[in-house]
Each structure stands twice: as C-alpha cells, then as structure tokens.
Amino acid sequence: MTEADLPDLATLELGGSRGPEGWIAWNLRNYEEHGFGLWILETHAGEFVGDCGLTMQEVEDAWFVEAGWHVRSDLRGQGYATEAAGAVRDAARAAGIEHLVAIIRPGNVASRRVATNIGLVLEREVVAHGGPALVFGAEL
C-alpha cells in the first residue's frame, strides 16, 4: 500500500480512527516489524476491491496473527473476501504461522461466513477494539 492507494482506501469501512493515511502507516510498520501486512485487492482488470492480509492484533493482553479483510460495500457477496482470505490463510501457513485468528464483530454475518469458509471456528467471545467481538481461529 502506498499513498497512491489513499483514494481507494477511503472507500472502505476500515474501522478505528486511523483514517486511510494512518492505515497505510500502520500497515508499513507491520511489514517492518513482522514481515507481513495487508495487500490491496484488485480484480484481474485492475479495479480496486479492498484489502486483505495478516496483522498482529492484541486481544485480552495476548497477541495473535489475524487474517483481516475489507471489501468495498458495492462488491460484497461476490466471493472476493473468501478468495482473498483463503490466500492469506495459505500464506500464513507457508510462513510457518501456527495459529491464525479473525476478530469479527458479532453482527458481521458476512465476515463470520468468510471465516468459517476458510476453516476458522469460533473460539471465544471477547471485548476487543472498544466493543464485543468474536475470535475465530484455527491451528495451521
């Protein structure tokens, strides 16, 4: 991700208070510190779809590798998130990551379905990032 991605990232519901510029800076730090981060998702024709990748996330004072995804609202329900999240899971496995999680708001049924489709199961309910969340996970 670079500053050239700012207009596209501004179309996503990224959550938090970072905004697209903060989101890119955070992602670049993830690559520097952990060797992984988020990828820009595009169609084969080059149309921006969203982002997906691996990040470190803190939940109840413990750190986890999380598969995360965001898809433009007008492109949801077309399989982009499941395809991308599956690729991220495979990349995590290839990198030797032993346990992968997805932290999802309880009402986000679509993301819960994506997590299940890539082999993650509900592990527990927590409070994370200022609200209730579900932690889906699996040993890789």
With tokens 């579900």, the residue in question is: 134
Pick the closest to residue 97 from 126, 59, 68, 56 (CA basis).
Answer: 56
- Average pLDDT across the chain, whole number: 92
- Break the chain into its structural domains and give their ranges: 3-139
pLDDT class of 14 with cuts at 50, 70, 90: low
The predicted pLDDT at position 16 comes to 57
pLDDT class of 20 with cuts at 50, 70, 90: confident
What's the topology of domain 3-139?
Answer: Aminopeptidase (3.40.630)
Give CA–CA dist 41/140, Å, rounded: 23
pLDDT class of 12 with cuts at 50, 70, 90: confident
- What is the number of helices (H) and of strands (E) in the chain? 4, 6
Tell me which of 121 and 12 has the higher pLDDT. Answer: 121
The answer on pLDDT for 17 being more than 60 is no
